[in-house]
Amino acid sequence: MSLALAPLDVTVEIEANLPCRKFDPDLWFSDAPAQLELAKSLCGDCPLRVECLAGAVERSEPWGVWGGEIFERGAVVPRKRPRGRPRKADVARDAELAVEVEERLAANGLETRNSVRLAA
């Protein structure tokens, strides 16, 4: 009697370790800025982060966290703003974060000027 061994399906093993598969999917599409920041942090160690981000940029994802970045209306935003008028300090911090987002996109091989639109 011989036992035939099925080949190991590596994609199932990888998917089981993806943060977006382990945690509540609604976390990546939340309206709360704090929850979106948590989702971004969970993406940090994901083995598919770069591919996820590149696919989201290519598709112009309308919203959610993809590859560790927040998308809103098809653009990468440094952070989700809460409702209401922003404080002056928040506007200044947003300008700094926009530069940081551009650097992260460039580090992942995505040209910010041509392939993705950054929301102001």
Binding-site residue set for [4Fe-4S] cluster: 20, 43, 46, 52
Sorted by where each begins, the domain ranges of the chain are 19-108
3-state secondary structure the chain: CCCCCCCCCHHHHHHHCCHHHHCCHHHHHCCCHHHHHHHHHHHCCCCCHHHHHHHHHHHCCCEEEECCEEEECCEEECCCCCCCCCCHHHHHHHHHHHHHHHHHHHHCCCCHHHHCCECC
Binding-site residue set: 20, 43, 46, 52
Taking only the tens place, the pLDDT of each residue in 70-103 is: 998 888 888 776 667 767 777 777 788 888 888 8
Taking only the tens place, the pLDDT of each residue in 23-73 is: 898 999 998 888 999 999 999 889 899 999 999 999 989 999 999 999 988
The answer to whether the pTM exceeds 0.85 is no
